[in-house]
């Protein structure tokens, strides 16, 4: 069904020991769209991803492609068609760029498709082709972020979950990475959930956004509406 929601969180709570961090949040990620979850440090953005993957004590319901995944184990959920780029990027620093990309496809058995996707990644991220025999740990921060995204895409995911891809990178590099993500979304139809502190750039890329404040969704709307909202402008866009 086109434009249905590929992922839904319904009234999800999460806690670490006695400390509740998410207080019943509801989020929808539209199939083929780019949704952003914005929030300051400690708002609960990473915890939201942990809740999706059942890696934190939680309640509520999580639906992927029309089916509840609430009771599934983390390893089962990872195989359903999610690719996750964690905040620390998670690349294998001792391995080469090529080896990292091949690892991203380890669950696939279609060797021809994997070879084609590798070439596609090199077209999208030409710098990774130049650096294909270089150890990932010696790449620049921006190149490592590109590698992390390309590696995640090698699993041919239905949904790409990105945790603060702008973290620690210069604005020009972030812009370049966001442009590539826009192209990936437009050309391949990969749905994206972009978790970010950088509201300005995220709202340029995304079509729909949620604001997470101390574990609650305080506002949601189209990216254009959020960009034009006075409170959002004051608190998140600095103008
Ligand atoms: P950041 O951008 O700083 O990563 P975030 O929005 O991703 O912030 P979370 O990492 O989800 O925030 O953290 C939300 C709250 O949960 C914070 O107050 C944090 O201290 C707390 N928290 C996170 N992980 C744990 C943990 N393993 N045990 C206890 N508390 C935790």
Is 164 a domain residue? yes
- Establish whether residue 18 lines the binding site of ligand 1, counting it when its CB lies within 6 angstroms of any ligand atom: no
Predicted pLDDT at 3:
56
Residue whose CA is at the smallest distance from ligand 1 atom 11:
44
Is 39 a domain residue? yes
- Establish whether residue 57 lines the binding site of ligand 1, counting it when its CB lies within 6 angstroms of any ligand atom: no
Provide the pLDDT confidence category of residue 231 given band limits of 50, 70 and 90: confident
Is 196 a domain residue? yes
Is 105 a domain residue? no
Predicted pLDDT at 50:
93
Residue whose CA is at the smallest distance from ligand 1 atom 8:
42
Mutate which of 42, 86, 88 to test ligand 1's pocket (most atoms within 8 Å of Cβ)? 42
Is 48 a domain residue? yes
Domain that holds residue 224: 5-90+158-237
Mean pLDDT (the chain, rounded): 92
| Cα distance between residue 111 and residue 65, in whole Å | 26
User: CA separation (Å) from 74 to 27, 67, 69, 82, 186?
Assistant: 20, 16, 10, 11, 29
- How does pLDDT run across 156-189, given as a tens digit for each residue? 999 999 999 999 999 999 999 999 999 999 998 9
Total number of domains in the chain: 1
E strand segments, 31-70 = 34-39, 57-64, 67-68
- How does pLDDT run across 2-24, given as a tens digit for each residue? 459 999 999 999 999 999 999 99
Is 70 a domain residue? yes
Closest by Cα among 5, 6, 60, 27 to 210: 27
Is 115 a domain residue? no
CATH number for the domain that contains residue 231: 3.40.50.300
* 182-206 average pLDDT score: 93
Predicted pLDDT at 159:
94
Neighbours of 183 (CB within 10 A): 11
Is 113 a domain residue? no
How close is the Cα of 219 to the center of ligand 1, in Å?
Answer: 20
- Establish whether residue 16 lines the binding site of ligand 1, counting it when its CB lies within 6 angstroms of any ligand atom: yes
DSSP string, 175-200: HHHHHHHHHHHHHH--EEEEEES-HH
| Cα distance between residue 205 and residue 199, in whole Å | 10
Residue 238 has pLDDT above 80, yes or no: no
- How does pLDDT run across 31-43, given as a tens digit for each residue? 999 999 999 989 9
């Amino acid at each position: 069904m086109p434009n249905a929601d590929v992922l839904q969180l319904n009234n999800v709570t999460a806690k670490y020991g006695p400390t509740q961090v998410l207080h019943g949040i509801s989020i929808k990620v539209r199939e083929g769209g780019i949704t952003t979850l914005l929030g300051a440090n400690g708002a609960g953005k990473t915890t939201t991803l942990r809740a999706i993957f059942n890696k934190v004590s939680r309640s509520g319901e999580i639906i992927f492609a029309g089916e509840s995944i609430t009771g599934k184990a983390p390893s089962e959920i990872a195989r359903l068609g999610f690719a996750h780029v964690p905040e620390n990027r998670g690349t294998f620093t001792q391995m080469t760029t090529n080896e990292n990309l091949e690892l991203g496809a380890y669950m696939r058995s279609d060797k021809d498709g994997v070879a084609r996707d590798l070439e596609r990644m090199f077209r999208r991220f030409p710098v990774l082709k130049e650096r294909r025999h270089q150890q990932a740990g010696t790449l620049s921060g921006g190149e490592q972020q590109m590698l992390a995204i390309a590696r995640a895409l090698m699993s041919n995911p239905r949904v790409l979950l990105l945790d603060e891809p702008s973290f620690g990178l210069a604005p020009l590099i972030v812009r370049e990475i966001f442009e590539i993500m826009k192209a990936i979304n437009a050309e391949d139809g990969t749905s994206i959930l972009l978790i970010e502190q950088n509201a300005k750039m995220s709202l340029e890329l995304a079509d729909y956004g949620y604001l997470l404040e101390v574990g609650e969704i305080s506002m949601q709307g189209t990216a254009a509406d959020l960009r034009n909202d006075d409170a959002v402008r004051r608190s998140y866009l600095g103008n």
